[in-house]
Amino acid sequence: MELLTIGEVASRSGFAPSAIRFYEREGLLSALRSSGNQRRYARDVLRRLAFIRAARNIGLSLEEITAALAELPGGRTPTRADWARLSRSWRGRLNEQIDALVALRDGLDSCIGCGCLSLQRCAVSNTGDTAAALGPGARWLPPALRR
C-alpha cells in the first residue's frame, strides 16, 4: 500500500503540515516513519482528519475531539458506522447553539428601540436573564458563542 508524505496529506486534507505535526504531538494522529525518520501516512488518516475538520466546524475543542477519537475501536480500521456513531451527538449540540442564538436574537428584538441595555432587565446584556432565556438544559451560551 502506498504511503503518503506529510506534504501530500497536507494538500489533500487542507491542514497545514505544522497542524498535522501538532495533532500528532497532541495524540490525535499517529504516523509511521520512513527509514530516514520522515512521517509516512496510510490513506485512512484522511478520514481521521476529515472527522477532525468536521468536529472543529461543529465547534468542538481539540480536547473534546481527542476524547471522541479515543472511543474508536482499537486494533482495526474504523468503519463508516464508527464515524457516524461518533458524529451523531453533534446534532444536539448544534441545536443547543441554534436555540441559544435564537433566544438572543429574540431578546435583542425586544431591546432594540428601547435601548435600555439595563443590567437588571435587558435580555441581551443581562447574563442572568440571557441564561434564563435559554431554558433549563441550556443555561449559558456555549463557549463558542460567548467568544
Give contact residues for DNA (rule: CB under 7 A).
5-8, 10, 16-19, 21-23, 31, 34-39, 56, 61-63, 147
Alpha helices of 14-142 — where are they, by DSSP H? 17-25, 45-58, 62-69, 80-88, 90-111, 127-133
51's contact among a second copy, DNA, none, with CB below 5 to 8 A by partner kind, is a second copy
8 A C-beta contact, residue 39 and residue 10: no
Closest distance of CB 61 from DNA, Å: 3
- 88 grid coordinates: 451523531
**Dihedral of the alpha carbons of 48, 50, 52, 53, in degrees to the nearest 10:** 170
132's contact among a second copy, DNA, none, with CB below 5 to 8 A by partner kind, is none
Closest distance of CB 32 from DNA, Å: 10
Closest distance of CB 36 from a second copy, Å: 28
| Closer to DNA by Cβ: residue 20 or 133 | 20
Which stretches of the chain bind a second copy, using CB under 8 A?
12-14, 46-47, 49-51, 53-54, 56-59, 61, 79-85, 87-88, 90-91, 94-95, 97-98, 101-102, 104-105, 108-109, 111-119, 122, 124-125, 127, 130, 141, 144-147
Q: Alpha carbon 58 to chain centroid distance?
A: 5
8 A C-beta contact, residue 37 and residue 5: no
- 23 grid coordinates: 495533532
